[in-house]
Chains A and B, each alone.
Chain A
Amino acid sequence: MATDTHSAVEAVWRIESPRLVARLARLVREVGLAEELAQDAMVAALEQWPRSGIPDNPGAWLMAVAKHRAIDHIRREERRDKKYAELQRTLAAPEVSFDAAPEEDFGDDMLRLIFTACHPVVPTNGRVALTLRLLGGLSTEEIARAFLVPEPTIAQRIVRAKRTLADAKIPFEVPERSQLAERLSSVLEVIYLIFNEGYSATSGKDWVRPGLCEDALRFGRILAALAPDEPEVHGLGALMEIQASRLRARVGASGEPILLLDQDRARWDHLLIQRGLAALQRAEDLGSFRGPYTLQAAIAACHARAGTPGETDWQQISSLYDELSAVSPSPVVELNRAVARAMAFGPEAGLELVDALLSEPSLANYHLLPSVRGDLLAKVGRNQEARDEFERAASLTQNDREKELLLSRVRQLSA
Chain B
Amino acid sequence: MRCMVIVKGNQYSEEGTLPSQEILEKMGKYNEELVKAGVMLAGEGLQPSSKGARVRFNQGKTTVIDGPFSETKELIAGFWLLQVKTMEEAIEWVKRAPFDGPLPDGQEVEIEIRQVFETEDFGDLLSPELKEQEARIREQAERNR
State the A residues within 8 Å of B (CB).
7-8, 10-12, 14-15, 107, 144-145, 148-151, 204-207, 211, 214, 217-222, 225-226, 247-248, 253-255, 271, 275
Contacts and interface: CB of A to CB of B under 8 A. Distances in A.
Contacts of A254: 127, 129-130
A271 to B, nearest CB: 6
A248 B37 CA distance: 24
A32 B71 CA distance: 56
Interface stretch (B5-13, B58-66, B103-111, B133-141): B133-141
B91 A11 contact: yes
B88 A10 contact: yes
Contacts of A225: 35-36, 38
Contact of A151 (B83, B129, B145): B145
Contact of B127 (A15, A148, A150, A253): A253
- Most A Cβ at <10 Å: residue of B35, B81, B140, B141: B141
Contacts of B120: 207
B93 A15 contact: yes
B92 interface: yes
Tell me the dominant secondary structure on chain A's binding face.
helix
A148 B141 contact: yes
B49 to A, nearest CB: 24
Contacts of A206: 134, 137
Given A144-B141, A222-B37, 19 more contacts: A7-B86, A11-B85, A11-B88, A11-B89, A11-B91, A14-B85, A15-B92, A15-B93, A145-B141, A150-B144, A204-B133, A207-B126, A218-B38, A221-B40, A222-B38, A225-B35, A253-B125, A271-B41, A271-B81
8 contacts: A8-B88, A10-B88, A15-B92, A217-B83, A218-B83, A253-B125, A253-B130, A271-B81
Contacts of A207: 120, 126, 134
Nearest to A222: B38
Interface of B: 35-42, 81, 83, 85-86, 88-89, 91-93, 119-120, 125-127, 129-130, 133-134, 137, 140-141, 144-145
Contacts of A205: 133-134, 137
Nearest to A150: B144
B129 A255 contact: yes
B145 A11 contact: no
A11 B92 contact: yes
Contacts of A144: 141, 145
Contacts of B35: 221, 225
Contacts of B37: 15, 218, 222
Among B40, B91, B120, B145, residue most surrounded by chain A Cβ atoms (within 10 Å): B145
A149 B42 CA distance: 35
A226 B35 CA distance: 10
Contact of A150 (B83, B92, B130, B145): B145
A218 B88 contact: no
Contacts of A204: 133
Contact of A255 (B36, B88, B133): B133
Q: Nearest 6 pairs between A and B by C-beta? A: A221-B38, A218-B38, A11-B88, A11-B89, A222-B38, A255-B130
Contacts of B81: 271
A81 to B, nearest CB: 36
A368 to B, nearest CB: 24
Contacts of B144: 148-150
A15 B38 contact: no
A144 B144 CA distance: 10
B24 to A, nearest CB: 17
Contact of B86 (A10, A145, A149, A255): A10
Contacts of A150: 144-145
Contacts of B134: 205-207
A220 B38 contact: yes
B92 A214 contact: no
Contact of B39 (A218, A247, A255, A275): A218
Contacts of A151: 145
A125 to B, nearest CB: 16
Nearest to A110: B36
A211 B130 CA distance: 18
Contacts of B42: 271
B97 to A, nearest CB: 13
Contacts of B92: 8, 11-12, 15
Contacts of B38: 217-222, 225
- Which of B38, B86, B119, B130: most chain A CB closer than 10 A? B38
